Structure formats: structure tokens, C-alpha cells
Structure 1
């Protein structure tokens, strides 16, 4: 009897858990794909996409069937790797590329990947490897005791994911905590300190457990769908991320004005208000490019009609804003309100809504705004032109873009299980949920470009899946402390890590909601410090938007004169750094590398740098350490190896490899620049390129003797799509240090574009002492007072001049930008 009970229990266990690390008995080969056959009928497919990228597909049934092709991967043919050979050894099969040694052990079946020096990079854990049960397909991988993990897109908590678990299920989580998961975007891509990345290309509610169950292994799993993941080997994190972008597509470049400052509010929904706020920015001389309009701007969701009574002359409003240098961005939701009878009946009759599997009718979706709605199914081919016609209305009126909000769709979080009854044209909601926002953003972009040829789209989204960079930009959802707005400091601090992690997910262009979205502001004086520090961080987000819920105003002047002064200075710095930021925007397009980078990415071998979550590298030359704690006036800043120069005074030098105490009163952002850097800047303007012929200020922090400081400045028209045709202008600056001199070359390269026909370049050398002579193209140049250069900066485009400032220790060399090579010698 006891034996029978034992056998019964054993049978239950075996029926609920199937270990698939059985014996591998053979393989078949088809081009660059090799399929390994398990004795139990399971199969493991390895597709060699390049010498360093392997597509892994495990299927317990051996059928290799998927409902939909990848929503994220757009390019699998990464490299011509030639003929694939499989070595059949007694205990394993082996495949060699120029960078990898891929081994499939026979019994038990076990995938292992080595680098070309035979070092184990990635391995199935013992006999587990890939396994399936009634709930999920799972992969278990060896976890080294010093292994660290980074990625997964916008996630809370520390950048290093080790010791934590995460889910992918796009969720509307307003006022989310510093540990809450999941959030609004699902990007199942991570990188390991052992020189590999994994992209799990599965749109269901996948899970990642980085050592939460064992110190010996980590795992990732999917409850349904094809179990496909890509192994990406690279020499460093940058190399891995670039290959991920090769797979999933290049980020689009924003229009240049998108990199200016933007102002928003939950109840920005009125014409007179928009004009008043815009006028106040210009009156106070605070730079600003964008005024947002939130959800209530429409008459109904989502008819794209201006709300009657709130807007009397929207075209006139937009014309006035344009004359003042402003753009307007309006929200759109992916639904049609039932109160919007004309459009709702039109869509319902055409079958354009997501269906309820229980009755075959349009799903009746409760919506946070505007009552119950129909959820538009953007996977239906006919929907695109229908929606595109509607969304073109405000574009024709003069708006400049959209923020696509609540694309989860909202109120479809884990606990909202009724939503799983939604049936989309291409699949059930369990499969489509995480890509719903992506299908919407794709359609918005395609319709925009179809109806507005050769014009860059501005689209900023809340909810999406891997690959969103091809269509949109992002913001980090509704942050802040809703219970007490003044206690939002921990949320502010974690926004640094959330934003850096967004960049790792292929979202180089993102913003936080400056001020934090959540919480009623009842004491503006008390809120002033938090607002100031959020602003000082926010201007270093590639996109910068101040935004808050309801009618809580967060314009800089609301918090008093001191806060306005310090906020204005921070915003002005963002505008001055535009040439630097725009150059890295082009690099982000070309490579997918983020603009705001964790220290671990630039200094992976610096054990202390890897631990830092509240600082970041801006571009490659600058380190920003925003103040993120209440009352803090001395910031402890970790500086990686090398020498770092205080960017605020441009004189004080700190030795890296240590933590320094940096004085940071409310008017100061701790910013440092690496020795041997070149930083291009421009004058403050009220909006991006208010003046076309602005001078360039090229800050040069010379390198060590016999070494060169370099920067390649990128410029283009800024609003059209010619950048995709490589129509641009580049200017190479290179300053070499010698024992008794500095030699600088300025090399222009114009490919169908010039920023200006008449402008000056001012090379601003940061030196220890006054030069003896300055020569330009071999001719000794006149030494004049710095004021003379400033007075003639936008008038005299003919004569080179130089100056010395004993207080700032700056040598200015003004040269006309005639788009010819120039050589400057300072002795």
C-alpha cells in the first residue's frame, strides 16, 4: 500500500514538472540554424545570427510554432558567418564562430557558450537547462558568485538587478514606490558582467529571477508562447547594447526643439491658459520650447476635437505660440468613449475595437477619464488610416506632436484579470497586452509620416515593449509621493536609476516628470527645495518636462524668486549644452547607446563605480551627480579613475578613484568633466535655435603631454528626415598638448548641410597661465580684451582674435567659421 501511494505521488510530480535536460540524440542543420533533438521529443534550435549572437528556441513539443512574428526583432541577418559546421564529439556537439565556442552536451542536454579563449561565458545550470511545467517554460542558468546584471528597461530599485526578481506586465502604477514592479514598459533585455546579454523575445507575462531562489543559478520564464531568447556576446556593455539595437532597430532622432525645456500640468486644457503661460516664460526670459496639453483638451476621447468652451480659436492660439517660438504637444488615448456616440458607433460598426471573447462584442472598458470606452485594436489593418485621419486634425491646426498616454491599456494591471477576456485581431490579450502600446505607437508614427512627409515625429509614450525606440520616446510614468508631495525625495533619487535603466532598454530619449507627478502642492515655499533639485536633475534628462497632476502648477516662478532664479539657471545650462546633447543624440541613433549612462557602463572594471545608482555619465565626457536628499549641501561624489575638473568653475581638479565632498548649495549642480575633453556649447536662447547664426563656444580641457583632446560636433537641419540620408555637418576639433604649446585643428565636413553662412567659433582653452603668442594658420593673432570679442561676436566674421582672463584662467581664440580647415597654435 505504501509503495502504491509513493508511486502515485511520484506520478503527480512527473506530470506537473517535465525536466527537459534529457538525452540529446541527434541534430539537423539548415543554413545557419542547427536543431538538436531530445530523446523525449523536445528540440533546441540554435540560429547563428552573427559571430557573437545566437538565437535560442526551446520547444518541448518540437514543433517550433509561434502565433506572431517578433514585434521587437527587425534584423536577424547581422553578419554573413559563412558555412556552419557541427563537430560531433563523443560527449557533445560543438559549433565554432570567430568569437564563440558553442557546446551542446549530449547527456544530459546542456547548452554552454565559451569565448574563443575557452572561458565559460554562459551555461545551463546542471541538468535543469530548459524545463517546462503546466505554468511556464523556464531556463535556469549558472550564476557566478561575482556576477552582476543590468537592464530590463524602466525598473525601480538599484541598477544591479542581482538578488531581485521582476515581471514584464505593462502596468499603470501612479505614484509608484522605489521598489514597485512591474511598471509601464516591458523590455526583457538584460546584460551580465560576464560579457553577454539576453533578450527574451516573448510578449507574455515573463519573469526574471536573478538569484532569488538560489546562489547557484538564476532563471527566466514565460507562461505561454514561443520560448525564444537571443544570446549576445560583447567585449563590454556598450558592445552588447549596440548589438541589441542592431536586432531591434535604431532609435529615431527627435526634432531639435524636443531637446529644449517643456512645461506641462494635468489641467493644461485651456487656450487662454496656454497663451498666458507661454507669455510668462518669455516675459521672465526662462527658455522654453514646448507647452503640453493633457487629456482634457479634447471634446471626447478620442475625437481629436478641441474642447468647446476651453478653446475658442485653436488655430489662432497655435499661430501665436509659433510666433513666440513654442511648439504644442497634445495627449492622445487609445480609446473611444461611449459618450462620443458618432465615433464610437463608427468604430463599433467597422469592428475596430478589441472584442470580448465571452460575447463577441466590443469590450466594455472602464476608463479613468470620460466613462466607459471601446479599446481601439491597432492590429487591424483598416484601423490605421481611420485613426490617422482623426489624429491629423490637430496637426493641420498646428500642433507639433503627441504624447501617447495610458497605452497599457490603463487599468489592465495584474489584478485586473477580466481584461484577459479581450481578444485582439492577432491574439488574446495575454499575448498582446505588453505590445499593445507598441502597436499603437507604430501606427501613430507611420500615419504621421504618411501625412506629413519629411518631418520628424515627436511622440512620447508611457507603455510599450522592446523595439519602441523605432517609433517613440519615453517618460518614466507618474512618479512622486501621492500621500505627501514633500516626501518625494526617495522617488526623486530612484528616478536617476529608473532613467539610466530606460536608456539600457533602448530608450535614449526620455524624461522624468520634473517635480514628481503625484501629490497636491499646498505649500509652495516648502516644496521649493525638492522642486529645485528635481529641476537640476531633470535638465540632464535628454528630454526635460515639468509636469504635475491636476491643477498643481509647477512653473518655475510659482516657488518664489530664489527657486525661479536657480531653475532658470539650470534650464539655461541645458540650452547652452545643446550642441553637445545633439551630437550624442545622433550617436544614440547610430548606436542605440544611451545619453545618460550608469557609471558601470563607462567604468565596468571600477568596483566602486559599478555600485553607484545616483550619479550618471552624460554623454561620455561629463559626470553629473545631482543632489537628491533633503537639506543636503555637501554632496558625496564618487569620481572614477583619472582626473576630473569641476565644470562649474572649470579650474578645480580632483583626482579620481575616490569619493569627494563637494559643496552644493541650492544654486549648484555637481558636474565634472574628464581631463582631456572638448565640450561644445552655445549661447542661451529662449528656444532652440532662436538665432540661426549663433556662435559656438568650444571648451577645451587639454590632455596630458603628447595626448589629444577630441570631439566631433554633429549638426543637421533638425526637423526633417534628411538625417536618415546622412545629410549633415560635422566639425572635428582636436587639441594636442606639447611641452611648450597646444596645437588645435578644426576640420569641417559638410554633407549637404551648413548650420550657418556667418558665425564665429570661440575656442575656450582652460589653462594654468597666459599664453605668450597665439597663431591661426601660421599668422600671429591680435590679443584683445575679452569684452571686445563678446562685442564683435555676432558682427565681425572676418578677423581672428584672442584674449586672456586671469580670473577664470581662460584663453579665448575667436575664429570665423568659413567651413575650411584651421590650425591654431598656442605657445
Structure 2
């Protein structure tokens, strides 16, 4: 009877799939150490179970060797042992496979989660999770004349996400997406190919497929409308992972366990950046920051584009040393900026021009990629005649890192890696690791690795800031911060940004952000500029940047635009403790900072292609203004929640779309009922942040009987602060008991930290009548009830080593 049920279940699965490969003949199946090996007529399959929610399948054609080397997975140590440093992903020492049933027509491999189903004739592999079909191979692996492919069946109603950074609409089904990182200058509402192409597909049916291979190719998301997903590549591994979970956040957590968690950013990275293309001199840099200080606009960093190493835009790339004519006291400038709370970041590129000061040294030290005769490969592109650093040579890696080390020793606090697709990368160029096409997509990825590992080795207590224009799957583990490239300075350019950032967060690169205000073109539009910066408050990195014909810095805009931009920037700083918790959640669980609303309603098909509003973390719902001159905007509010207008405290029931009147000084922003939102005191840079003086806003509503939130804090700069016990976690809990509202404060203090005394203003929203009685730790106190805005303010001192209880009795 048991085997009959399995057979009937298998028939159900195969009824949902079709198009099996008739030429592939099953021969045998065997299990060893959580690995299944299947021999077929044209090769063999190796199926590796990482845990009950992550499975890897590799096909090795006859005559080929199996390579375990992966650009994406955290660490492979050898062929038999998988060592994972990210949150102790289950290794092969644990028993994951519960049973292998091998019958005449089929075989089943069962775990407590994923099940693999093998149909023997015609041969087919399919996958299910907790009894529900996920996906099945269609043709499986097929070698064509120019491309190797892996083909899968899709269900007709699946919505597909992934493929990296694209502007295509949230649902990317129907597109054949090239996997070849390439800049798209001046794009707006549609861009099929951009700087970050990722070999990842996510389905509205809650699974992910990651194709674990670096060489270039295509990701065909049913472009022929025949319910087929196809991965196409020129060469490399025929390996993919299927990843599932009980929620969208579970899937992303599992994927980032597999490919690595993003390290904690330094806290200053959450502040405002001053940036343009570009600052020509020391005087211009310091003068710009002086303008910020004069206007009392907070700023944490300034980014120097290519003029720090040369006077001209062309002919100087590759100098990578301070141009003293324009920056005679570079070190003094960096020091003075630091004393004002402002970090310095310098641009670098991997191209060494033949006209640059380092060309002869690069040739002498043999750090450049080669041509077929073994000479440095030279070619022309926009900036001049160039060679490309071959970061795959250990000697070249060290040569390049020494430049960064020298800059760090000069006080430079962050790295900007530009043109790292690489922007021009001839196919016949040869790297130590392979051809240009074999490593093109992972060049930016490994460039970030080079810097990340250099900091770990030479500056182990520093959290690096690594801004990169290109990367690949798994790049988040090297601390890579992506941006969406040279977007046009138009409303169309702004409209594509939420989609791009949300999608990238789903694919592990949670810090995708845009040049605020737009980069390309001389469009002076203050309304667009302000609306883009207001959106930027709720995107991962706040960095206005543009070509210099129109200023990107608020201090050089009109008085009205400057005032509105200042208001947005000040809000960004007020939200610093909330945003830092998002950094922690991403580091620990892979949670995106920006989240689509279908995460709240995974069965609401109307939300599958919706990106006009999104969640910033768990508790803030944001609806950016993406069109010019509009006075009203429709906003969808996630159901099963009450939402508070952040500015007015008006409450709105979830599960509906409402037309919201717009204001020029803000965008529609809402707080989930039951949320605790910590607000920082005013500051001019994150160095002025005081984690011991906060407002804690609680959004009280009778529909929320119990609520709990946690907020992580550390010094904002020490690497591995959490792992070494140098942290605190503030815990807030609210409960409604009859006519009492009880709010409890508790703290977890790291093993290498001390408890602190905190000055807290607890502000409770939606208190419509003056309370009858208020107690703190059992003692009655008098507090301020504001009848006009229905809020209650309770000032208190909290020693975090002690538990604190606030009780409010209503009349």
C-alpha cells in the first residue's frame, strides 16, 4: 500500500510535466552521504542535499570531469566535504535523506522537505516540497551547436522574477535575458541588459532556481510561450540549485546561507553622500562640504570621481595615484574632512591606459590580461588605449590591492569600483583563469572579493565600504554595494528604480540603489530631483550623484529644492536606528531592506507585478511619487493590518486601495499598527548619533493585542561586532490587558558590552482619551497627553541592565 501511494503520487507529478528527453536512458541510482548519483546513457547526475530546503543537481556528460569549483557557494573545501561559514548550513555529516525508493519505473528520494522524483522511462527529474510539485526538468541538459542548455517545465500561471537588475516590469516571464554584464547609459522605463545580470529565477509558486555557473549565456523565461524555462551557456558547470522555504523571506535566507550573507555595513554608509562626476580639485571638495555645513544639511561622505588621479577625463585612467596639481594636500584634506564627520571615497577602475603613469609598471610586473601570443592585450575604448588588470593572477591581485592599501593608509574610507562589468571586454582576451567570456560576469564579483579579503587581512577591525557597478550571484558576501548604473535624469528613469531595487533584494543583493536625482543628461527639474531624494530616504544607500552640468548636491540647487531636500535628508537621519536594524536583519537572515507587497500577501495575484508601493523593512509602507505634477496617488495597503499615516496619524484599514492626496514635502509613508519605531535626535553626521537618547514611537491600536520588536545596536564600525559580543539588542513589547496597555523594555547585552543608561521619550500614538493612570516600574508618574494629535509622551531613564515596565490605564 505504501509503495502504491508513492506510485500514485509520482503519476500526479508526471501528469503535470511533459517533454522528457527520450534519448536519455536510466541505468542506475545509488546513495552515499546525502548525495545521490544517477548513471544515464549520456553521463551521470550528482544530486547533493545541503539541507531539506536546498538541493543541488549537476549533470556531467560522458567524457567530462565533475568540477566542484563554484563562484557562488560560500566555500567548497574538497570533493567530499562542504564547509559553510554562513550560519552553519547543514553539511554532509548530517543525515538529510530519509529514504531512497528504487522501483521498476521510478525512484523517489525523500527528505523532510524537498523530494526528488526520478521517472526512468522516458527519463525525467522533478522536484516537490511537502507534497506539492515545484518544478521538473523538461529536456534537462542538452548540448547544441553553440550553447549548452538546461530546460525545465513551467506552469501556465507562474510569474517569474530574477535575472538580476533589469527594467522590465516585475514579471519577467516572456523575456530571453542575456547573461552578460553591460552598462546601459541613459536608460529609462525599459532596460533588458544592465550591469548586474544574475543566473537566478524566482517563481510566484515560492521557489528559486540558481544556475551555479559563471560563463556568459542567456536565461530564457518562456520567450516562446511554450511553458519552458531554459538556461543557456557557452561552457562551464551544468549545475543548479533548487531552493524553497515556508515564506519568501525563508527562501532568501536559504539562498544567502548558501551563497553568503552580506557583512554589516559601517553605520556611516546609511548617511547622506555628496557625489558628482566629478570634483576637480581639493578646493572644490572642501568648499562643497563647507556648503553642507553652512546650510546645516547632514552629510557623511564625499565621493571623488576620476579627477583625483588626473586633470582630464581621457588619457589618465590607470594613474591611480593622487594628482598633486589639483590635490596638493590630499592627506590633509582627508583628515580635515574626517574631523568634520565626513569620510572620503575614491573611484578606481581596472583599466590601465597605455598613457597612464602605471602602464610601464603594470607591464613589468605582468599584471595585465593577455592576447593569444602572451602579450598584454591592448585595445581602445572611450577613455583611451588600455590594458585590463588580470585580477585572476595572484601577483596582479596583490599589485591592485597595494593601491587600495595605500589609499586606506592615507585615510580613504571607502572604495568605488567603476566600469567593472568590465565595460569593454574583448572575447579573445585571455585571463589566468580562462577566456574573457568565461569570467566576464564574475569579474566585478572577484574584484569585490579582492578588496574584501584585503581588508580582512590588513585592516581586520574595519568594515569596508565597497561600491561596485557590476557583480554576480553571491557577490553580497564580499560586502559589495550595487547601484543601478547611469540612469537617465528623467521621470522615466525614476519610475524604473523601485522595481530594480526590489528585485535585486530578492536575489540577495539587498543594497541596490540609484543615483538619486538621476545621472545622465542636463535636465534641471527640481520637482523630479526632490521626489527622487524623498524616495531615496527609503532605499538602501542615500547617494545623490550626476553628471556635473546639473548639480546633484542639494546645497547648489534652488532655495525651495534645497529646503525640501534638507527635510528628506533629516528624515533619513532620524530613521537611523530603524535602518540599522535592517542592516542587521540582512546580515543575519538575508532580509531585503526593500520588500514587495506580495511578501505580505503571497496568494494575491494582483500584487505579483506591483512595485509602485513597497515595504521598507517590516513596518514602513512607502509609495514614491513617480510622475510629474500629480496631486493624488492610489496606494494599496496590505491587508490584515491597520496603517498609520506617518505624518498625520490617520489610520487606514489594510486590504484596500485608497486615493491619497500628495504633499510636496513628503511622499506617502505609513506605519504598521503595533510597530515600535525608534527615532534619533538631530545630527550633522552619523558621528553625532547618540544611541542612548532616542524617541521610541509605539503605534497603538486595539486590533493589535500583543506586539514585539527588537533593535540591534553596536558601535557602527567594528567588524564582526555581533560575533564578538560587542552589541546590544533593545527589545520592546506591548500588550493590551482589559483597560491596561502594558509596554515592557528589555535588553540583550553582548558578552563583551556593558549596559548603558538611556534617555527615552516613549511616544504612544492613537491615545484618544487622557489616561486615568500611568505607572513606571510600579510607581505612578505624570506624563503629557496631547489631545490635538492623540499622543502620549512618557519621558524615562532606562538602565538597560534592568527590565522596565510601563503600564497605562484607560478610563
TM-score under structure 2 length normalisation: 0.91
Q: Which residue of 2 aligns with 1:520?
A: 522
Q: CA deviation at 1:321?
A: 0.9
Q: Which residue of 2 aligns with 1:124?
A: 137
| Match status 1:280 vs 2:294 | no
**Distance change (3 Å), C-alpha of 1:816 and 1:18:** closer
Verify the 8 A CA contact 1:733 1:744 in the aligned structure 2.
yes
Within-5 A mapping of 1:175-574 = 175-299=186-310, 300-341=316-357, 343-357=358-372, 359-369=373-383, 371-412=384-425, 419-481=426-488, 485=489, 488-521=490-523, 524=524, 527-574=525-572
Following the alignment from structure 1 to structure 2, what is the Cα–Cα distance between the partners of residues 500 and 705? 30
**Distance change (3 Å), C-alpha of 1:643 and 1:592:** closer
Q: CA deviation at 1:327?
A: 0.7
Following the alignment from structure 1 to structure 2, what is the Cα–Cα distance between the partners of residues 824 and 21? 72
Please give the per-residue CA displacement for 1:130-178, whole angstroms capped at 9, x wherever unaligned. 3221122222222212211222332212122222221211102211243
Q: CA deviation at 1:731?
A: 0.9
Following the alignment from structure 1 to structure 2, what is the Cα–Cα distance between the partners of residues 630 and 705? 37
Following the alignment from structure 1 to structure 2, what is the Cα–Cα distance between the partners of residues 265 and 701? 39
Q: Which residue of 1 aligns with 2:9?
A: none
**Distance change (3 Å), C-alpha of 1:328 and 1:706:** closer
The counterpart of 2:786, out of the listed 805, 812, 824, is 805
The counterpart of 2:683, out of the listed 682, 685, 694, is 685
SS of aligned partner of 2:509: coil
Q: Which residue of 2 aligns with 1:796?
A: none
SS of aligned partner of 2:605: coil
Following the alignment from structure 1 to structure 2, what is the Cα–Cα distance between the partners of residues 339 and 550? 25
Which ranges in structure 1 are unaligned for 5 or more consecutive residues?
1-16, 413-418, 784-801
Q: CA deviation at 1:542?
A: 1.4
Following the alignment from structure 2 to structure 1, what is the Cα–Cα distance between the partners of residues 638 and 756? 41
Which ranges in structure 2 are unaligned for 5 or more consecutive residues?
1-18, 76-81, 84-88, 311-315
Q: Which residue of 2 aligns with 1:774?
A: 774
More moved, 667-676 vs 693-702:
693-702
Please give the per-residue CA displacement for 1:359-400, whole angstroms capped at 9, x wherever unaligned. 22111132433x222211111112233222222222222111
More moved, 648-657 vs 613-622:
648-657
Q: CA deviation at 1:780?
A: 0.2
**Distance change (3 Å), C-alpha of 1:152 and 1:303:** same
Q: Which residue of 1 aligns with 2:168?
A: 157
Verify the 8 A CA contact 2:162 2:503 in the aligned structure 1.
yes
More moved, 23-32 vs 593-602:
23-32
Q: CA deviation at 1:703?
A: 4.4
Q: Which residue of 1 aligns with 2:5?
A: none
More moved, 467-476 vs 732-741:
467-476
Paired positions, count: 769
Please give the per-residue CA displacement for 1:316-343, whole angstroms capped at 9, x wherever unaligned. 21121112111111111112222224x3
**Distance change (3 Å), C-alpha of 1:513 and 1:579:** same
Following the alignment from structure 1 to structure 2, what is the Cα–Cα distance between the partners of residues 595 and 141? 31
Q: CA deviation at 1:65?
A: 3.4
Q: Which residue of 2 aligns with 1:60?
A: 61
Following the alignment from structure 1 to structure 2, what is the Cα–Cα distance between the partners of residues 563 and 226? 52
Within-5 A mapping of 1:570-581 = 570-581=568-579
Verify the 8 A CA contact 2:196 2:470 in the aligned structure 1.
yes
**Distance change (3 Å), C-alpha of 1:648 and 1:703:** closer
Following the alignment from structure 1 to structure 2, what is the Cα–Cα distance between the partners of residues 601 and 269? 45
Verify the 8 A CA contact 1:71 1:467 in the aligned structure 2.
yes
More moved, 651-660 vs 332-341:
332-341
Q: Which residue of 2 aligns with 1:7?
A: none
Following the alignment from structure 2 to structure 1, what is the Cα–Cα distance between the partners of residues 46 and 532? 48
**Distance change (3 Å), C-alpha of 1:606 and 1:689:** farther
**Distance change (3 Å), C-alpha of 1:458 and 1:755:** farther
The counterpart of 1:594, out of the listed 592, 595, 618, is 592
Verify the 8 A CA contact 1:715 1:755 in the aligned structure 2.
no
Q: Which residue of 2 aligns with 1:786?
A: none
SS of aligned partner of 1:464: coil
Following the alignment from structure 1 to structure 2, what is the Cα–Cα distance between the partners of residues 28 and 269? 66
| Match status 1:762 vs 2:744 | no
Q: CA deviation at 1:561?
A: 1.8
Following the alignment from structure 1 to structure 2, what is the Cα–Cα distance between the partners of residues 121 and 19? 19
Verify the 8 A CA contact 2:724 2:752 in the aligned structure 1.
no
Verify the 8 A CA contact 2:165 2:503 in the aligned structure 1.
yes
Verify the 8 A CA contact 1:191 1:240 in the aligned structure 2.
no
SS of aligned partner of 2:257: helix
Q: CA deviation at 1:456?
A: 0.7
Q: Which residue of 1 aligns with 2:13?
A: none
Q: CA deviation at 1:693?
A: 6.0
* Structure 1 moving runs of 4+ over 6 Å: none
Q: CA deviation at 1:59?
A: 2.9
Q: CA deviation at 1:762?
A: 1.2
Q: Which residue of 2 aligns with 1:610?
A: 608
| Match status 1:815 vs 2:804 | no
Q: CA deviation at 1:306?
A: 1.4
SS of aligned partner of 2:427: helix
Following the alignment from structure 2 to structure 1, what is the Cα–Cα distance between the partners of residues 394 and 671? 50
Please give the per-residue CA displacement for 1:627-652, whole angstroms capped at 9, x wherever unaligned. 00011121111111033434333421
Verify the 8 A CA contact 1:329 1:399 in the aligned structure 2.
yes
SS of aligned partner of 1:44: strand
Q: Which residue of 1 aligns with 2:14?
A: none
More moved, 261-270 vs 623-632:
261-270
TM-score under structure 1 length normalisation: 0.90
Verify the 8 A CA contact 2:728 2:748 in the aligned structure 1.
yes
Verify the 8 A CA contact 1:644 1:672 in the aligned structure 2.
no
Verify the 8 A CA contact 1:461 1:472 in the aligned structure 2.
no
SS of aligned partner of 1:765: strand
What's the C-alpha RMSD, in Å, of the aligned pairs?
2.1
**Distance change (3 Å), C-alpha of 1:429 and 1:693:** closer
Verify the 8 A CA contact 2:20 2:137 in the aligned structure 1.
no
Q: CA deviation at 1:62?
A: 5.7
Q: Which residue of 2 aligns with 1:825?
A: 807
